[in-house]
Amino acid sequence: MMRKGLLRFLGSLFIVLVGYYVYTVIPQMQAVSVPAVETPSQIKKVADLHEPSNPAATKKGNKVYAIEENPYADYYKLNSDYTGWLKVNQTNIDYPVVRGEDNAYYLSHNFYKESDVLGAIFMDYRNVGMGYDENLILYGHYNTHNQMFADLEKYLEKSFLKENPTITFHDPYTERIYEIISVHVAPAESTYIQTSFEADEFEQYYNKVKSESMHEIDSAFEPEDRLLTLITCNYGVEDGRLYIHAREIK
């Protein structure tokens, strides 16, 4: 009798493990596929031409100006929630960024709005983008196969931070470079995800995250600063998050 019960238990356990592998492990191993885009250095600016060679051109005085489509326009066609492109050197982080109507949808949907356990890299729905926010926040899942924001874990090592101190975020019109000011692990708290501030709150926030950094980084607050905060899960503490804070280099 006991033997039959044990066999039934082992059979049930096997079914659970197979289900976990099929519905969790395999989806996490899938490749994250997003069409390639021209790098910012390849983006052409409006040309000042003396002879018209572009069918989409306009003449002003004795000069002809070429009109070229924004090279990121195709991403808007694929997903109207597209808001920019994020790249971190020496990592797999090279993804489009979207913004939903809340901070839940893109936890379980990819760039194509398909159900996906990997989700997408997404901007906090309260953010405006394009340099208007005091603190621009981007979220991404931690994944054991180094996809999405898993490689942010590399910044736990001071040597990696020293070699890769900047993050690039290209919004629809501008390439923005951010220099890291803080790397820290802490429980998920609303105090770390403020997007706007009153009076001296912004300086207090800046000094708070800087003081909590696990690496000593030389930087001082300036009133005109604009911050970028990247957030992913970290299991070093209960309900933990890894926070990377960086400020825009003007």
Q: Which residues are catalytic?
A: 233
| Paired tokens of 42 | 């390849």
Q: Are 200 and 151 in contact (CB under 8 A)?
A: no
CA distance 151 to 12: 36
Distance of CA 19 to the CA centre of its chain: 30
Strand stretches in 24-164, DSSP E = 48-49, 57-60, 63-66, 82-87, 94-98, 121-123, 135-139
SS3 (DSSP) at 96: strand
Dihedral pair phi/psi, residue 45, rounded to 5°: -95, 165
